[in-house]
């Protein structure tokens, strides 16, 4: 550790602990010595650091992949620092080009405002809402105007912008790059200037944008922020980044039973990465649990504990216990206590059409495929006849292990 920093700002045990909290699970902390200096100064003066996380409301819901950085924010918040949850209502008009091989389609102002309404409510399930500063970057981006935008653009050059991997790749492949996409990292960096942030968090795909923030703060005479990047969370498939577009996600507003069951569906290998990035258990507790599994304990026990922890965080401990019992009942072929109630007219009706009408299959052809695979039950009996017709009555339909509906057919 840099001796000058130690001399000027004594590195106490509290500072060392704060550094350990910062480093847990992170991909990079840049520059670490500067972060130690900021932590030591904050400890000595009693002035909390300003820690920023920005999310663009490109969709109406947050999934647990987003909570990797939210968890880190909460950990730093619990140490007494000021956290700023920034909703990028202005930058969403451009669309973050990070990791894209094409221009992101623009959203309307109405779509952005509708999505933004849910973001903070959902983030508050992780952050302490009483201690969280909520900001919208339209506050300072709208007043910039054309003159301000030109002045901001003059503080960065095209050569540096083309060092960005996705821009460089698209340029070499002859793929389109719109001029307005260059504005995105500049405006995200300008957010750090407006908020005077000491630390900005983001996924590994945000590293370029976060570094632009450091550059622009220096250009504006501010002390540059440090940046902390967190790994991207693989989704349920264990391969791709968690994403709604890939349907491998768990939304934090999903019901408790679905959330619990989805966590249990991940692989044993992926489970440990999820523990590191999503669990609030100490590293010592996770290491002890890992050792128990290595010594022969069933890894499912560890996965159940993780599923209950995550479900309880977004619902309650009682809901997590109930979800566990529901999962056990389903895995044993039982019917959950609470299932959807659906009324369908048109008896007698073929089983394929009924599955579609009840919302248990997206189409008749998919219903047929499910029946052929033995995945459809009526009143606990497996359906083998694709031509089965049901008369008026009340039936419990089941597709796979998780989809149920009580259907009143008339």
pLDDT tens-digit readout, 357-388? 998 988 888 888 888 888 888 876 788 788 88
Note the pLDDT of residue 403.
85
- Cβ atoms of 249 and 242 within 8 Å: the answer is yes
Residue 7 banded pLDDT, cuts 50, 70, 90: very low
Please name which of 69, 4, 58, 72 lies closest in space to residue 33, comparing C-alpha atoms. 4
Sequence-ordered alpha helix ranges (H) in 196-235: 207-219
Instruction: Say if residues 89 and 140 touch (Cβ distance below 8 Å).
Output: no
Q: 69 with 232: CB under 8 angstroms?
A: no
pLDDT of residue 253: 86
Higher confidence at residue 119 or residue 235? 235
Q: What is the mean pLDDT of residues 336-352?
A: 83
- Which residue spans within 208-347 are E strands per DSSP? 226-230, 340-344
> Is 47 or 261 the better-scoring residue by pLDDT?
47
Strands of 319-383 (E only): list them: 340-344, 349-350, 376-378, 381-382
Q: Residue 344: what pLDDT? A: 87
On the question of pLDDT at 117 being above 90, the answer is no
Inform me whether the pLDDT recorded for 3 exceeds 50. no
Q: 128, 140, 117, 132: which is closest to 195 by C-alpha?
A: 140
393 — alpha (psi -120 to 50), left (phi > 0) or beta? left
Give the pLDDT band (50/70/90) at residue 58. Answer: confident
State the angle between helix axes of 32-45 and 13-23 in degrees (0 to 180), rounded to the nearest 10: 140
pLDDT at residue 97 tops 70: no
pLDDT value of residue 1? 38
Check pLDDT > 90 for residue 73.
Answer: yes
Q: Between β-strands 376-378 and 393-399, what pairing exists: parallel, antiparallel or unpaired?
A: antiparallel
Does residue 220 surpass a pLDDT of 50?
yes
Pairwise CA distance, residues 39 & 15, whole Å: 6
**For the whole prediction, is pTM greater than 0.85?**
no
**Measured distance CA(42)–CA(192) in Å, rounded:** 19
CB-count exposure of residue 45 (10 Å: 0-12, 13-18, 19+): exposed
Is pLDDT larger for residue 100 or for residue 144?
144
Asked whether 226 and 30 are in contact (CB, 8 A), the reply is: yes
| Mean pLDDT across 107-135 | 85
Of 159, 162, 156, 233, residue with least CA distance to 188: 156
Backbone torsions φ then ψ of 32, nearest 5 degrees: -65, -40
pLDDT the model gives residue 99: 52
SS3 content of the chain, % helix, strand, coil (to 5): 50, 15, 35
Q: Domains of the chain by range and CATH?
A: 3-230 (3.40.50.620), 256-331 (no CATH), 340-409 (3.10.290.10)
DSSP string of 391-406, one letter each residue: -SEEEEEEETTTEEEE
How many Å separate Cα 390 from the centre of its chain? 43
Whether the per-residue pLDDT at 2 is higher than 50: the answer is no
The candidate with the shortest Cα–Cα distance to 203, out of 186, 181, 216, 188, is 188
Burial-class residue 228 by CB neighbours within 10 Å (0-12, 13-18, 19+). Answer: buried
- Kindly report the length of the chain: 410
**Residue 60 and residue 384: Cα distance in Å, rounded?**
40
For 91-119, what is the mean pLDDT? 71
Residue 211 pLDDT: 93
CA distance 88 to 137: 5
On whether the CB atoms of residues 290 and 80 are closer than 8 A, the answer is no
CA distance 187 to 171: 22
């Amino acid at each position: 550790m840099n001796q000058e920093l130690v001399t000027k700002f004594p590195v106490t045990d509290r500072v060392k602990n704060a550094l350990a909290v910062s480093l847990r699970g992170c991909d990079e902390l840049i520059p670490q010595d500067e972060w130690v200096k900021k932590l030591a100064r904050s400890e000595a003066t009693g002035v909390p650091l300003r820690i920023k996380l920005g999310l663009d409301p490109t969709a109406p819901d947050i999934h647990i992949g987003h909570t990797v950085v939210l968890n880190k924010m909460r950990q730093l918040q619990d140490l007494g620092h000021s956290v700023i949850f920034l909703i990028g209502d202005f930058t969403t008009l451009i669309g973050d080009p990070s990791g894209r091989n094409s221009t992101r389609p623009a959203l309307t102002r109405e779509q952005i405002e509708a999505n933004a309404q849910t973001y903070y409510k959902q983030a508050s399930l992780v952050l302490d809402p009483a201690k969280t500063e909520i900001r919208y970057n339209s506050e300072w981006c709208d007043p910039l105007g054309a003159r301000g935008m030109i002045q901001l653009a003059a503080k960065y050059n095209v050569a540096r912008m083309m060092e960005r991997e996705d821009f460089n790749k698209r340029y070499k492949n002859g793929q389109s790059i719109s001029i307005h996409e260059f504005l995105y990292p500049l405006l995200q960096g300008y957010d750090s200037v407006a908020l005077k942030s000491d630390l900005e968090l983001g996924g590994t795909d945000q590293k370029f944008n976060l570094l632009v923030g450091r550059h622009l703060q220096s250009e504006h005479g501010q002390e540059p922020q440090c940046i902390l990047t967190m790994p991207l969370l693989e989704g349920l498939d264990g391969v791709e980044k968690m994403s709604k577009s890939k349907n491998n996600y768990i939304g934090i507003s999903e019901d408790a039973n679905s959330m619990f069951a989805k966590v249990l569906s991940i692989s044993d290998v992926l489970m440990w990465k999820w523990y590191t990035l999503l669990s609030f258990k100490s590293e010592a507790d996770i290491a002890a649990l890992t050792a128990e599994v290595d010594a022969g304990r069933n890894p499912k026990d560890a996965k159940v504990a993780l599923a209950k922890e995550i479900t309880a965080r977004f619902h309650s401990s009682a809901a997590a216990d109930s979800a566990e019992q529901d999962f056990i009942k389903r895995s044993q072929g039982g019917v959950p206590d609470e299932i959807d109630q659906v009324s369908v007219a048109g008896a007698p009706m073929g089983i394929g059409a009924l599955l579609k009408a009840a919302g248990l299959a997206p189409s008749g052809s998919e219903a047929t495929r499910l029946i052929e695979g033995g995945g459809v039950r009526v009143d606990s009996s497996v359906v083998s006849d694709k031509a089965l017709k049901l008369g008026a009555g009340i039936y419990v339909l089941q597709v796979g292990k998780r989809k149920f509906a009580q259907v009143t057919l008339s």
